[in-house]
Amino acid sequence: MRSPNQNIARENSTVTAQLSTLINPLNSNDQTFLNDPYPMMERLRNEAPVYWSAKDKYWIISRYAEASLILRDPSFEKQIHTWKHAPNPIIVSLIPHIKSGFKTSKNWLLNLNPPAHTRVRSLLNKAFTGPIVQGLRPVIQSFANRLVDGFEGRDEIDLVTEYALPLPMYVIGHMLGIPVTEVSALKKWSSQLASVAGRARNLKVLTAAGKAVEELERYLRPSIEERRKSPRNDLLSLLVQAEEEGTRLKVDELVANCILLLVAGHETTTNLIASAVICLLRNPTQLALLKAEPDKMQTMIAEVLRYEGPAQVVPRLARKDIELAGQKIRSGDMCWVLLGSANRDPAEFERADAFDISRKGARNLAFGDGIHRCVGASLAEVELQIAIETLFARYPNAKLEDAVINYKTPFALRGPTEVILKLN
C-alpha cells in the first residue's frame, strides 16, 4: 500500500508532466500553433489559468476573470523595463542602439504609470476626440478607394500587402504629416519596432528596433519644430499644440509617442483588417447577414476584435503580493495577459469559439481595459469599417484562395503573412 506522501508525489508528478506539454505562446515559432493557437490557450485556461513559466520567469494569464482584474487593477503597472529579469542595464548601456530604444520606449504612453500616464494621456486624447476621428473619414475613404481602384482588371490580390497594410499606413502617415511617397520607409521602421512585442530579451531584435527609433527621431524632430512655427491640419500639429492647465508634451515625449502611434496605428490595424476579411469569408452566413443588415457593422467589429484580436498579449508588473487562481504572485513579478485567450473564455462568452456578429454581452479585452485601454481604439474601428465596406462593395464575390493561412511571428501581434483573395 502506498503512503499518503507517495500518492501526493505521484499526483504532483503527473500534473508536472501535463503542464510540461503546454506551449508558451510568447516564444513559440511553431507554425501549426501560430495558425491556430486557441486549442492550446483552451488547455491553459483549463489546466493552468495562472501559469508560471519557470524557464522565462514570468506568469501567463489566460482566463477572462483574472485578465480583466489585472488590466483594471492599478497595482499591476507598466514600466516593464524595471522588471527584475529585464536585460541587464550594463548590457543596454554598452549597445548604443538598444540604449536609444529603451530611452524612447520609457516615454511611450503604454509604458507610463500615473501620474505621468494621466498627464500624457489627457494630452494625447485631444488628438483622438470623436469629431477629429470622424473628420478623418473622407481621408480614409479616399485612400481605400484609391487602393481598390488599383485592383481593376485583376483576378486576385494579396489582401495583406496590397490593402490591409497600405491603408492604415497611409492614414497614420497623413496624420503625422509624412508623404505617401515615404510609406516604404515607414513600413520598415514599423516592422522593426513591432518585432520586439513579446520578445523583450532578444538583443538582435532590440538592436534593430533601436536603429528604427533613431531613424524615426531624426525624421520627426524637424517636422515637430516646423509645426511649432507653422501648424497644419494634421495630428502632429494637434499634438504639438495640445495643452492642459499650462502643461504641454515635452519634445522627447512627443517624439516617443509619435513613434508609438506609428506602430500602434499601423501594425495592429493591418492585422485587424486582414483578420476581419478572413473571418467574414470563412463564415459566409455572417457575411450575408452583414450585407443584409449593415447596421450590424459595429457588432461585427466588436466580434472580430474578440474572435481574432490583433494584439494577443500585454504585460503588467505586479506591485503587491496577490493570489490568483490559487497561485501566489509576488510584488515584482511579470504577468503576461493573453487577451486572445480571455476573449475565447466560455465562462464569459457563450459559444466562445463561434464567430457571431450578432453577439451581445461582455465587453472584449482586445483594446485592453482600465486606464491603459488603447487611446486610438475609435480610429482603428473607423478604419476597419471603411475598409470592409469599400472592399465588399466593389468585390462582393471575393473568396479566399487558400484553405490554410499562415500567421506571422511574434505571436503578440496576430496577423496573417499573406492572404490571396480571388476578386471575382
Q: Give the 3-state secondary structure of 219-274.
A: HHHHHHHHHHHCCCCCHHHHHHHCEECCEECCHHHHHHHHHHHHHHHHHHHHHHHH
Residue 141 lies in a domain: yes
Run of H or E residues at 58: strand 58-61
Q: Using CA atoms, how far apart are residues 262 and 332, in angstroms rounded to an integer?
A: 30
406 closest CA partner among 147, 37, 41: 37
Res. 110 pLDDT band, cuts 50 70 90: confident
Cell 499650462 sits on residue: 246
Q: Using CA atoms, how far apart are residues 208 and 294, in angstroms rounded to an integer?
A: 43
Owning domain of residue 53: 33-422
Res. 99 pLDDT band, cuts 50 70 90: confident
343 closest CA partner among 313, 382, 298: 313
- Identify the three-state secondary structure at position 261: helix
Count: domains in the chain: 1
228 closest CA partner among 284, 165, 177, 162: 177
What does the pLDDT read at residue 243? 61
Decide: 318 and 76 in contact? Cβ < 8 Å: yes
Where helices occur in 283-414 by DSSP H, the ranges are 284-292, 297-307, 339-342, 377-394
Q: Using CA atoms, how far apart are residues 199 and 222, in angstroms rounded to an integer?
A: 31
- Higher pLDDT, residue 29 or 63: 63
Query: pLDDT tens across 221-280, in order?
Result: 888 888 888 888 888 888 888 766 567 788 888 888 888 888 777 889 999 999 999 999
Residue 108 lies in a domain: yes
Q: With 60 as the cut, is the pLDDT of residue 15 above it?
A: no
Residue 347: all three cell numbers together: 465562462
Res. 143 pLDDT band, cuts 50 70 90: very high
Calculate the average pLDDT of the chain: 87
Where is mean pLDDT largest: 221-225, 366-370, 408-412? Answer: 366-370
What does the pLDDT read at residue 266? 83
Residue 53: all three cell numbers together: 513559466
Cell 503546454 sits on residue: 22
Q: With 90 as the cut, is the pLDDT of residue 72 above it?
A: yes
What does the pLDDT read at residue 17? 42
What does the pLDDT read at residue 87? 64
Integer CA distances (angstroms), 211 to 207, 208, 217, 267, 312, in order: 6, 5, 10, 18, 25
What does the pLDDT read at residue 5? 45
Q: With 90 as the cut, is the pLDDT of residue 148 above it?
A: yes
End-to-end CA distance of the chain: 71
What does the pLDDT read at residue 6? 42
Looking at residue 67, which CATH number applies to its domain?
A: 1.10.630.10
Query: pLDDT tens across 158-176, in order?
Result: 999 999 999 999 998 888 8
Where is mean pLDDT largest: 20-29, 233-242, 257-266, 341-350? Answer: 341-350
Residue 2 lies in a domain: no
Q: With 60 as the cut, is the pLDDT of residue 97 above it?
A: yes
Residue 17 lies in a domain: no
Decide: 186 and 178 in contact? Cβ < 8 Å: yes
Residue 9 lies in a domain: no
What does the pLDDT read at residue 176? 83
Give the mean pLDDT of 126-130.
Answer: 86
Q: CA 230 from chain center: how many Å?
A: 33
Decide: 56 and 169 in contact? Cβ < 8 Å: no
Residue 102 lies in a domain: yes
Decide: 46 and 328 in contact? Cβ < 8 Å: no
What does the pLDDT read at residue 89? 58
